[in-house]
Structure 1
Amino acid sequence: AFPAHAAGSGMPWEAPLQSILESIEGPVAKILATIVIILTGLGLAFGESGGGMRKLLQIVFGLSI
């Protein structure tokens, strides 16, 4: 049996995921964060949601800032 080594070429899905990550960094991430903040704020302001949904929106709003 051959010894197993930790170094290697990686898993086959690492390269596509890395390219997706690189494409959404920078200005795209800022635009998406701004959209999330606006939509969450509007949901809190105009939503007729129950206590659980309101709490979830508050958590999302807090995390997006």
Structure 2
Amino acid sequence: MSYAAIGAGLAVIGAGFGIGKIGGSAMDAIARQPEAAGKIQTAMIIAAALVEGVALFGVVVAFLK
């Protein structure tokens, strides 16, 4: 079994966990303050994009080694 595949899998699992946590927290925040939904959604999308970027970087690094 390839170590690159294990590294890529861990990066994807971590990204999935991170995005799930971001989405759940954003839904909780919107439920508590519906009037701030636009600002919360914007921050959620930016955070999710950063998590995806890190995951993609991890996958690329895993396959380069």
Using the size of structure 1 for normalisation, the TM-score is 0.43
**Which protein shows a greater Rg?**
1
Q: TM-score, normalised by structure 2?
A: 0.43
Structure (1 or 2) with the greater helix fraction: 2
